[in-house]
Structure 1
Amino acid sequence: MPDQDAITAAVLRQNSLKSKFKPTQTIECAEGKTVELDSANSIMCVTSKKVDFAWFYTHGDILQCSVEKDGKTVIESSTSSLLGRALVGGMLAGVGGAILGGATGQKEKKTVVNKISVQFRSFNPIIGQDRVEDLVIFNRLAFNPRFAFRTDGDALAETLHSFLSRLIAPPHQLPQPGTSSAADDLSRLAELHQKGLLTDDEFRKAKSKLLG
């Protein structure tokens, strides 16, 4: 587990991002997840109905992101390659059978895609390790027709991947802690404790540090 200083810094930073967050686009994903994008401030918020929790990301937080189609990576960006890399030549495979192969000289082949998702990896300072988030944009087999018959899956996946790729770039200036009140910071700590992300002892120590 990370030390208390790391946990406290993470809480302060989350509150700082939350105070600046002004979403300009919302993307609903399967499995109860929602992504909100703030283009002006380069902040992304991911919420999940399953755990009733939100986490904010900005410059330098994303280590790797990719667009996955039926379990295969078609675009990937990472800290070692800030430009999207098409692993499948030419056009992306689209919903209902876009063309794969592009101008590779091979015979064009149409395919039907059943699932489109955007995955990203980031370091979570609360748990002290990397975690991978899977955001399902389109799933032909989903019970919810909103995701089973979505026709803009490709466009949404590319929009989200493009935004995430921007967050891989080194930050010009990270949000500064201290823009939120002590009450906000304590509230955030309490929320992390309630969700089981902080033990009783970690919560007490972090709370004591915030109160001086």
Structure 2
Amino acid sequence: MNFKTILSVAVLALAAVNASPVNNIETIKKQCEDDGLATFYINDNGEYTCLRHHPKKEDLDYRTCFFTNDNDDEVVCVEEGFSNIPSCSKNSGATDYDKCAYKFLEFVDDGSDELPYRIRKFPTHEKIFTHNYVIDQKECRGHDGIVLSYKAAFQYICLQPATPKNSVSISDKECVRVDGKIYCIVQDNTSIDHCVRRDKQYSHEACKKTLELYSKVNNVNITEYIEN
């Protein structure tokens, strides 16, 4: 084998090595998204994951799953074999649910002021990103909500439109009418304790006064306070 042949073989081998990771990622992405129920994510550090929608009633013990949004019948899970993030794998020996949730958040946060998901623990629905006004307000806006804040960014109320999905629980919330449309306080995305009914500081009258003030300074036209 002459020098030219050896050089050609070496170049081809190097090209194959360099192309292999890309090809593998493309294959993993294709297999992840093949059925239309999953989304493949990869970041600049080469970390990747496959997040798939599953009915809650499935056997999900071997997956890391999260509730998202208002759909209680469905969860989003990390697909084993399509993720290289140890904290998200139940087979890695390094599983960390909260760290995995933050990775999920990193992948779906596009840097705007809105988040498409409310990521919550499965099966308890517990909030994961506590005391984080940035995430709270992004979640609110990402669900067509109105954020009312005044003076301090960490003092805020989230008003979300009432829909057929969330209207069942309206009786547990403070609700108002804004330009003819019913909006209710999302307690998970509200930091004003006296507007959160499950908080010991809750006060309907105090909340009403706060809503009156915050709506005025935010130019939100509340036309009616709904008594529940």
Query: Do both share a fold (TM > 0.5)?
Result: no
Higher strand fraction: Structure 1 or Structure 2? 1
Q: Which structure is higher in RCO with an 8 Å CA cutoff and minimum separation 6?
A: 1
Higher helix fraction: Structure 1 or Structure 2? 2
Per the shorter chain, which TM-score range? Answer: under 0.3
Structure with bigger gyration radius: 2
Normalised TM-score (structure 1): 0.22
